[in-house]
Amino acid sequence: MNATPVISKRGQAELRYALCQAALVAGSRNTFFRCWFARKLQGREREQGIAGILRVKLAAKLLVIAWTMMKKKEMFAYERLNNC
């Protein structure tokens, strides 16, 4: 079973906002997430609203990482992320 992480418009708006703000910071400050964002954006720069859509996808990715860390009760291991 392959599940695709999504953030729906149902639920708490403040939580969605916080997730998107975290994705905005991660996509601009963290090397791994900046490379991920640039790779996904490559060739699609002219599409209207694509940066916002990718930012929400990055927020979902961050949420999956956080959920997995809590579920496995382990600390964040930066070296597990695939670098650019």
Query: Are 68 and 81 contacting, i.e. CB atoms less than 8 angstroms apart?
Result: no
The pLDDT tens digits of the residues spanning 55-80 come to 999 999 899 888 989 999 988 877 77
Where exactly are the structural domains of the chain? Answer: 13-80
Query: Are 5 and 61 contacting, i.e. CB atoms less than 8 angstroms apart?
Result: yes
pLDDT at residue 9 is higher than 70: yes
Band (10; pLDDT cuts 50, 70, 90): confident
Residue 84: its pLDDT value, please? 60
The pLDDT tens digits of the residues spanning 26-35 come to 989 988 899 9
The amino acid at residue 67 is W
Band (48; pLDDT cuts 50, 70, 90): very high
